Amino acid sequence: MLELKDLPDADILKKFADRYPEVDIDRVMQFLTFLRVGTDLSNGLDRYLEAHALLQGRWWVLVLLMREDDGCSSPSKLAGKAGVSRATMTGLLNSLQRDKLVTKMVSHEDRRQTLIKLTTKGQAKLDEVMPEYYRRVNQLMSVLTEAESKTLMQILAKLNQQPVFL
């Protein structure tokens, strides 16, 4: 993915505004900064998980399985919760199964359905990753006051209600 390392300043955006009258320089700056922060956070998470032989997709599947009371879910439900295609989920599950972090089993209720179960090794991997993950999240977010944290959550909730435009 291409990353914008050099965010434009207001003078540069003014050139665009001269050509495209729809440009609201302040809002574009807010959006690009928000996008940049999100990219940096995602890249930082990737670097952390890579040190534990995980990628975000594989890690999210393990987390989604841990959220289930019995550590089980169907591939289609996992794909839906992760926001990926079934084909992408199949690739993630095959990789996790190869590493013995998950196992496939037949549903007791419907023998036609395959379920994915978090293995003991998969839970151990999460137990290895999650404490430091939470420590890092806490450290990152600690720069915000309680009031700023609440405001940030309100802003994010508001933005999340908007239809995705891209």
pLDDT tens figures, 123-138: 999 999 999 999 999 9
Q: What is the pLDDT of residue 3?
A: 67
Do residues 52 and 124 touch, judged by C-beta distance below 8 A? no
Please, which residues have CB within 8 angstroms of residue 3's CB and are 6 or more apart in sequence? 39, 43
Decide if pLDDT at 1 tops 60: no
Average of per-residue pLDDT across 26-32 = 89
What is the pLDDT, as a whole number, of residue 18? 84
- State the CB neighbour count (10 A cutoff) for residue 120: 11
Give mean pLDDT, residues 150-155: 97
- The per-residue pLDDT for 166 is 61
For the four alpha carbons of 103, 131, 57 and 165, in that order, the dihedral sign comes to positive
Against a cut of 0.85, is the pTM above it? no
Residue whose C-alpha is closest to residue 75's, from 87, 63, 58? 87
* Residue 105 neighbours by CB under 8 Å, 6+ apart: 72, 114, 115, 116, 117
Chain centre distance of CA 77: 17
CATH code for residues 54-155: 1.10.10.10
> Hey, which residues does 118 pair with through a beta bridge?
102
Q: Residue 57: pLDDT band by 50, 70, 90 thresholds?
A: very high
Q: How many residues does the chain have?
A: 166
Q: Determine which of 10-14, 27-31, 65-69, 106-110 has the lowest per-residue pLDDT on average.
A: 106-110
* H or E segment and range at residue 4: none
Q: How far apart are CA 53 and CA 120, in angstroms?
A: 17
What average pLDDT is seen over the chain? 91
Q: What is the pLDDT of residues 88-143, one digit of tens each?
A: 999 999 999 999 999 999 877 777 789 999 999 999 999 999 999 999 999 999 99
Q: Residue 122 in contact with residue 104, Cβ under 8 Å?
A: no
Token pair 């930082």: residue: 44
Which one-letter DSSP state was computed for residue 105?
Answer: E
Q: Give the angle 65-71-77 at the CA atoms, nearest 5°.
A: 50
